[in-house]
Structure 1
Amino acid sequence: MALPKNPKVDLKLKYRRIFEISVILALLLLILAFKFFPRFESESLGAEAVQELVEMEDVEITKQETAPPPPPKPPIPIEAPADEELEDIEIEDTEIDMEAEIAAPPPPVEEEEEIPVEFFVAVEEMPEPIGGI
């Protein structure tokens, strides 16, 4: 069985009021900070640098090429009259005889190649790089 909460220590009941008070205090602090500690540094922004003259150039008007007209719509296909009679196609018998004996394929022809025998020769000299060290 859950223990009942004590309403004196339940923070969910006071959450809204605490949130509103904290927002009001934060806004008051910001207003007071800007009211009593303003930092306005007034510098005169004089035109000390020589201003450059900008020359306007006349831009030629370009001609827009017109898009080619869309291709014509394809004609609607018309059904051709079915005057021609199709010939009947005869399919040969495709039955498989499972009991028929099938001859084995002939054995492949084997070609004998002579493999040259290479003898191992121990090298007694140390290898050196080409061109020396």
Structure 2
Amino acid sequence: MPLRKTKKADLMAKYRRVFEISLITSLVLMIVAFKFFPDFGGKEVKIEGPQELFTVEDIQQTKQENRPPPPPKPPIPIEAPSDEVLEDIEIGETEIDINANVEAPPPPKEDKKIVEEEPQYFVAVEEMPEPIGGIQAIQSKIVYPEIAKRAGVEGKV
């Protein structure tokens, strides 16, 4: 059973009334202060300094040049299957013999669940790893796609 506040201990019940009373009181004090004490010492504040003169110049509006749009990107050629490849395909028989005896598929193999150990993480490394053969070995194994070569597509990856 939740605990309930008593009306005497509940501060939020009186919050709005207390806020309104304090607001009215502060406004009354401000009105009285300005009514009975309109002058603040009677001193006038004069700010004098050199006056700067400037001339107004008309600025001509610039025009934007109409530049031709950039050339479109070259299309990437997509290899379509040629007629020679299509002639090599043979379609097998598609007739179904309803009276033939069909053997049931073999039962599924039971896979043993392998419990993996938690990986061990190293916090500090004494020697930084290097690729086998250096960076030259990695660069020698990179093969640029033939389609991209023909399309003239270049760039960094």
Normalising by structure 2, what TM-score?
A: 0.33
Higher relative CO (CA 8 A, sep ≥ 6), structure 1 or 2? 2
TM-score, length-normalised on structure 1? 0.37
Higher helix share: 2
Larger Rg belongs to = 1
